[in-house]
Structure 1
Amino acid sequence: MTVPVPVPPSDGERERVAELLQQACGEGRINLEEFSVRVGAVWAAEDAQALARVTEGLAPTPVVGSSRTVEQVVTIFSETKRRGRWRLRSDRLGTYTVFGSAKLDLRDLATGEDVIEITGCCVFGELKIIVPEGVEVDVTGPVVLSSQETRLAPVPRLPGTPEIRIRVHTWFSSLEVRSRPPG
């Protein structure tokens, strides 16, 4: 008796599952971090059963909880922390910090966008942005008497995850971008 050899999923099958995951993320059924992990599993799947397991547990309706829609974060003489479950109104987020501190954790961000653009300025302040591991990040913008540090984990980019473009003007400030595992 011969044992059937499992047939690996085709690229088309993998792309269809990745699109389902992207749609689920855009609808808020999974967050950006979970999306990243599941898309990685899509491309690592060795057979149809492993590919089917990637979509297990996807709720047919959005997850209950705070999913506040945000289009800008303004911090003046204050401190702002945006973490947990949240969504962008579009593919752009404006951030403006003056004599304050802002921390944006994108790991639970719900989005279906291919590119997320974060723009703004930080004057006499501090801006920290946390992204999930395996997401492509591009940091630009003038740094005037400031510090700018990007620390991303040395892991390959997960296919299907969005690119995050950060263009922030920093004047007498600190801009820190780092990746972290789920948490």
Structure 2
Amino acid sequence: MTSPEPTDPTDPTDPTDPTAPLPARITDDRRQALNEKLTLAVGQGRIDLSEFSTISDAVWSVTDADRFSRIEQLVTGKTTPPDDAEIDRLAEKAAPSPEDAAKPGDPTNPAPAVKPKGSISSFSTTINHYQSSTVVPENHVPIQSTWFGDIRLKGTMQLREREGYSLVFGDLDLDLREMTLTASTTVLQANLIFGDVKLTVPPGVQVVNQMKLTFGDVKVSQREGGATPNYPGAPTVVLTGRTMFGDLRVRVAEPGEKQSFWNWLIEG
């Protein structure tokens, strides 16, 4: 049996070499800055929430500096065409158009507010202890209303900065996973009597609860695999309004993920 060849101490790839350069570190500030560019891309309708979730997860999980730089350049539109990788395709899609890049001071194209830095927390903590710094736009709210009927919205559609719903004896079911937004903060105002509010979002999207419930519960269902990360600078969905004799149910799930039979049986 032949013995293994000795390790060349001058080989820079040798992990035992004390003189070998350390791998470049990607700072949290750099990750957050890129995540905020993705949030702006959502607000401008270039990517939907499910695509944001996919790219944002890569932004906060990738450890290779060269790979991160490539994603960073694609998102800002400063590199060659992407390869066949799905992340590269989505990152290029999030890049601003020449018209958007030429008007950085345009009031119709605002940059997202920088949120306080902090550790990544669980989704249930965020919804029950919402950030006081979240700014709720105060504009006219277009209202969709119904009596003795439900409102169910899902699929590829666009949500305005403010949306309103009024229901009596009916449920409101909103699945935002494939929707695009028109602002980094979207306000959903819901007023129901004898009806539940059901909201589904992809991982990485922050949900802020400002609803008032009378004779109702708040129920949060995490995605499969554990707690949902809340990335700084992520798109924010604010729930306002009130319900009487109805629950608020918020579900976090990957795009295309189906609700299990037992969860459906328990939660509806």
Q: Under a length normalisation based on structure 2, what TM-score does the superposition of the two structures give?
A: 0.55
Per the alignment, residue 78 of structure 1 pairs with 149
Superposed counterparts of 1:90-105, under 5 Å: 90=161, 92-105=162-175
Per the alignment, residue 119 of structure 1 pairs with 189
- Residues 135, 61 of structure 1: alpha-carbon distance in 2 compared, 3 angstrom cutoff: closer
Q: As a proportion of its length, which structure holds more strand?
A: 1
Per the alignment, residue 130 of structure 2 pairs with none
Per the alignment, residue 65 of structure 1 pairs with none
Q: As a proportion of its length, which structure holds more helix?
A: 2
Comparing 118-127 and 105-114, the one that deviates more: 105-114
Unaligned stretches of 5+ residues in structure 2: 1-10, 14-20, 76-87, 98-140, 257-268
SS at structure 1 position matched to 2:34: helix
Displacement of 1:74 after TM fit?
A: 2.4
SS at structure 2 position matched to 1:170: strand
Q: Give the paired residue count.
A: 174
SS at structure 2 position matched to 1:39: helix
- Determine which of 32, 37, 56 is the counterpart of 1:39: 56
Between structure 1 and structure 2, the one with the greater Rg is 2
In 1, Cα distance between equivalents of 2:217 and 2:143? 21
Per the alignment, residue 6 of structure 2 pairs with none
- Residues 165, 152 of structure 1: alpha-carbon distance in 2 compared, 3 angstrom cutoff: farther
Per the alignment, residue 128 of structure 2 pairs with none
Per the alignment, residue 105 of structure 2 pairs with none
Q: Does structure 2 retain, via aligned residues, the 8 Å contact 1:128–1:175?
A: yes
Q: Does structure 2 retain, via aligned residues, the 8 Å contact 1:36–1:158?
A: no
In 2, Cα distance between equivalents of 1:89 and 1:160? 19
Q: Does structure 2 retain, via aligned residues, the 8 Å contact 1:97–1:127?
A: no
Per the alignment, residue 24 of structure 2 pairs with 7
Q: Under a length normalisation based on structure 1, what TM-score does the superposition of the two structures give?
A: 0.76
1:55-107 Cα shifts (integer Å, max 9, x gaps): 51133799xxxxxxx954323222221101222222x2212111222211122
What's the C-alpha RMSD, in Å, of the aligned pairs? 2.9
